[in-house]
Structure 1
Amino acid sequence: MATSTGTGWAQLRQQARSLETQTESLFHTYSQYASMTKLPPKPSEEEQRIQAQLQDLLERRESLISQLTRLLDSEATLTSSALKQNNLSRHREVLHDHRHELQRLTAAISETRDRVNLLTNVRSDIDAYRSSNPAAAEADYMLEERGRIDNSHNMMDGVLSQAYAINESFNLQRETLASINRRIVTAASQIPGVNALIGKIGAKRRRDGIIIGVFIGFCVLALLFFR
């Protein structure tokens, strides 16, 4: 009897794990509908089929868990019952998570579809209103054109504001450089002997340049003479 019970438990657990794997695989496909931004107005046959398969898998897993529970209740061995109780609890937790995930995905898909349908209906109503009211359609067109023109003007105003700010920055920099130059000239004029020292330095540079030029010229002439 114990062997028969153990065999039945192992087979049911194997089935439960297989159904869990199938459920996760279908969730991967079904979740793609929840991530779509443009859903068809009505569920496609494939979407309905996947949702029905998920529901069927969850129900079959619920039935397997009930069978496992009955087998565990009939167990007389306490040592094996503790391990089986943990396995059974795990299957229940996974089933609960998958039920919650199916509800979440179904709600997300429904919300996305409602939003798409609402936008489609609004556009249809607007188009129908414009078709039946040419004057209103013309007025709406003029308002849209006015809005685009205003946006263009706002963009141009922004560009001009940036240009004015850059020009003002350049003016400030120019005034700063001019102020620094005036301070340098004023400081140089106030220090005694600075102008004379600068003149001597310039004269020395000119004298050194003349000497180097004469020396180079002499060397060139010497080379030409002794060739």
Structure 2
Amino acid sequence: MAASTGNQGWAQLRQQARSLESQTETLFHTYSQFSTVSNIPAKPTKEEQETEAKLEEVLDKRDSVVSQLGRLLDSEASLTSSALKQNNLALLREKLAEHRRDLARLRSGLREARDRANLLSNVRDDIQTYRANNPEAAEADYMLEERGRIDNSHNMVDSVLSQAYATNESFAVQRETLANINRRITLAASQVPGLNSLIGKISTRKRRDGFIMGGFIAFCFVVFWFFL
């Protein structure tokens, strides 16, 4: 009877620990999003403070549940069941320690992100204040920025012109290559005996065949119109 009661107590505590682990994961997801916003506030928001407090509370509850499971395991006498439960207890403790490390890492990352945002904001404010108090310096900065934009435009134009020159040169090389090929073909044709005569005869026969075909078509039209 006592062993059965102990098993029920173990099962309930273990289920409670699993439920708290799930809550921790959900709170971690919410807490991690505070460091990814575009304009992170200089101080923690109320929602951020509440989420962090809930995380601490859930982790403390898990610590208490794990401690109760340890005491319950120490009171059991069964070696067979104790070995399995000891393994489950070790996993719960390991997961709890991991989540505590995750909370410290997220808290540190959020602090660093807030420090960077505040530093950039302070630098921008200092620059604006300096420019407001020194109009000449502000004008000089503006001229430097304009000069930088003009230089970038010139660099872009130079790049486009370089590409155009390279393309034109490539076309010239291709034209020269085609001209060389044409000259070689003409030279080869002139060196073969009777080739020019054969080409001329073929051209003459093609013209003659064209005349014959044209005359036949004209004759067909005349016959067609005559019998129409």
Same fold (TM over 0.5): yes
Specify the alignment match of 1:9 in structure 2: 10
For the residues of structure 2 that align with 1:206 and 1:11, how far apart are their CA atoms?
Answer: 105
Matched, 1:116 2:125: no
Q: If the length of structure 2 is used for normalisation, what is the TM-score? A: 0.93
SS at match of 1:41: coil
**Structure 2 stretches of 5 or more lacking a match?**
none
Q: Which string of whole-angstrom CA distances, capped at 9 and with x for unpartnered residues, describes residues 105-146 of structure 1?
A: 212212211111111111111111111222211111111111
RMSD across aligned positions (CA): 1.6
Task: Tell me the amino acid that sits aligned with residue 59 of structure 1.
Answer: D
Aligned residues: 227
SS at match of 2:160: helix
Instruction: Pick which of 172-181 and 8-17 moved more.
Output: 8-17
Q: Which string of whole-angstrom CA distances, capped at 9 and with x for unpartnered residues, describes residues 56-80 of structure 1?
A: 1111111111111111011011122
For the residues of structure 2 that align with 1:8 and 1:207, how far apart are their CA atoms?
Answer: 112
SS at match of 1:4: helix
**Structure 1 stretches of 5 or more lacking a match?**
none
Task: Tell me the amino acid that sits aligned with residue 97 of structure 2.
Answer: H
- Displacement of 1:3: 3.3
Amino-acid identity (%): 65
- Displacement of 1:32: 1.4
Instruction: Pick which of 88-97 and 144-153 moved more.
Output: 88-97
Change (3 A) 1:219 1:106: same
Specify the alignment match of 1:94 in structure 2: 95
Hey, which bits of structure 1, 4+ residues long, moved more than 6 A?
Answer: none
Q: Does structure 1 conserve the Cα–Cα contact (< 8 Å) formed by 2:35 and 2:114? A: no
SS at match of 1:63: helix
Q: Does structure 2 conserve the Cα–Cα contact (< 8 Å) formed by 1:37 and 1:112? A: no
Q: Does structure 1 conserve the Cα–Cα contact (< 8 Å) formed by 2:35 and 2:113? A: yes
Q: Does structure 1 conserve the Cα–Cα contact (< 8 Å) formed by 2:34 and 2:40? A: yes
For the residues of structure 2 that align with 1:209 and 1:8, how far apart are their CA atoms?
Answer: 108
Task: Tell me the amino acid that sits aligned with residue 154 of structure 1.
Answer: N
Q: If the length of structure 1 is used for normalisation, what is the TM-score? A: 0.93
Matched, 1:202 2:209: no
